[in-house]
Structure 1
Amino acid sequence: MSQSSLWQLHTDTGDFAELCNALYQREISLIAKGDFSSAQSVQARLESLSYYITRTAHAMVTVIAQGHSPLLLDTHNASWSAKQGKQIPLSGQETEQECANIINWYLQKDIYVGLVVPVLLADHIIIDCIDRIDLDKQRIRTNVGGWFSLTTDELMHKGQETNKRLLKPNKKIMTSACTGHCWQGNNKQLPIIPTLRELLLSCSINWKNFKKPLAI
């Protein structure tokens, strides 16, 4: 089957249409409530909306059809779903030695710009991607999270001060990020639906090897 026929197959499904509809409703609502500096900014956002919504809906349907994702696809809400744990899944990423393991993971040669990574923001985890690597200063920048120092002391203590920390991908953490799970203390809260950008990034996750993304 060719790529073009595969695309046609997915765009003909009810799931694809429902995803597009849900994404349009959500994005139009966000634009209507947004604070834009000019009419041109709104026009630019609207002009690219069709492309990104179609691409995201196609990617979400594709990863499910090809069995690449362990998550459940909620077409009505255009989101991923999975069982939420009682606590934020930070086990294995909290002690000094565990933080050292995180740093070692990010200092390997197979880390590159564009790689999808998780970032802890206070009470929930988001899907982000690396947009700059500065090995001379041992730091990495992600698109949303900004700069993160790859030293044990800064990763632990500065992260606690700013409520923002770079995490190492694993199945529980990436599941939480993709589904928008959040907590307040030890209490589960209603999920935060990831942004359109996060949903698109989630479709490139290779759940068998987080350093080798899917080409969807």
Structure 2
Amino acid sequence: MHISNSQQVDIFSDDQSQLHYAELCNALYERELASLSQQKISNISLLQRKIAGLRHHVKRAAYSLLQHQSPLQVDIHNASWQAKQAAKCMANNYVSQKTQQWFSNNIQIGCSIAIHVKHLGSEHIELDSIDRVELSSKRIHANKFGWFDIDREHTKDNYKQTDILRLRLLKPTKAILTAACCGHSWDHKGKGQQRALSLRELLLSLSINWKTFR
């Protein structure tokens, strides 16, 4: 089931609001528990903290999905954003000068950013957040993907995941952020299978002010 932007405004005055909320929570719990089961976590206390924090983050994400103002639709059953996917990945229209100018004017710790992630045979755009800034060297540090020079793509040596061929910092636009929020991916044939966002990415998507982007 999809919920449009206009429906989101009064969602909690609707008779189905509690059912929608419960379905979102269930979908998010299932996805996160499945993800945790696949992670190699040897530190038991870390695993306990992750599980203990799930309830808060899941409830926050579910509530915000129903209330957040965006041009995207909400899929209640899958706890995901939905929008039409472009035939080709728009990140390949990358212009370094525009990216450098945008980040030079808009750098802010904590803000959501978009990263072009290229694997062997596939690519997608992923949300990350800025947790450190070095203005003197024109560098930013992303929480997951590490250091980026504002005016060029990521230095692969700083990120050790072997199946990733290239990481590239992108100027955020409506099209870029839509692809990232919806988990759109592409392969050599064109549109690939939609990627399920982690709970962390979903929460980052809820911090986006869509009025800022054109």
The alignment's TM-score, normalised by the length of structure 1, stands at: 0.81
Gaps of 5+ in 1: 1-5, 211-216
Instruction: Show the counterpart of 2:82.
Output: 81
Instruction: Show the counterpart of 2:131.
Output: 131
* Post-superposition offset of 1:111: 2.0
Instruction: Show the counterpart of 1:53.
Output: 58
Within-5 A mapping of 1:151-162: 151=151, 154-155=152-153, 162=165
- What fraction of aligned residue pairs are identical, expressed as a percent? 36
Question: How many residues matched?
Answer: 192
- 8 Å CA contact 1:86, 1:186 repeated in 2: no
Within-5 A mapping of 1:15-54: 15-54=20-59
Instruction: Show the counterpart of 2:209.
Output: 206
* Post-superposition offset of 1:92: 4.5
Distance 1:112 1:25, change over 3 A: same
CA distance in 2, matches of 1:136, 1:180: 34
* Post-superposition offset of 1:29: 1.3
* Post-superposition offset of 1:199: 0.5
* Post-superposition offset of 1:7: 11
Per-residue deviation, residues 129-149 of structure 1 (Å, max 9, x unmatched): 111110111111111121111
Provide the secondary structure at the position in 2 that maps to 1:130: strand
1:167 equivalent among 166, 170, 175 = 170
- 8 Å CA contact 1:7, 1:58 repeated in 2: no
Which letter maps to 2:153? L
Provide the secondary structure at the position in 2 that maps to 1:76: coil
* Post-superposition offset of 1:9: 5.9
Instruction: Show the counterpart of 2:110.
Output: 114
Q: CA RMSD in A?
A: 2.3
Distance 1:7 1:143, change over 3 A: farther
* Post-superposition offset of 1:35: 1.0
- 8 Å CA contact 2:11, 2:66 repeated in 1: no
- 8 Å CA contact 2:150, 2:169 repeated in 1: no
* Post-superposition offset of 1:90: 2.4
Question: Mean Cα displacement is larger for which, 36-45 or 170-179?
Answer: 36-45
Instruction: Show the counterpart of 2:96.
Output: 99
CA distance in 1, matches of 2:113, 2:176: 10
Which letter maps to 1:169? P
* Post-superposition offset of 1:128: 0.9
- 8 Å CA contact 2:88, 2:186 repeated in 1: yes
CA distance in 1, matches of 2:181, 2:20: 19
CA distance in 1, matches of 2:189, 2:99: 24
- 8 Å CA contact 2:27, 2:78 repeated in 1: yes
Gaps of 5+ in 2: 1-9, 157-163
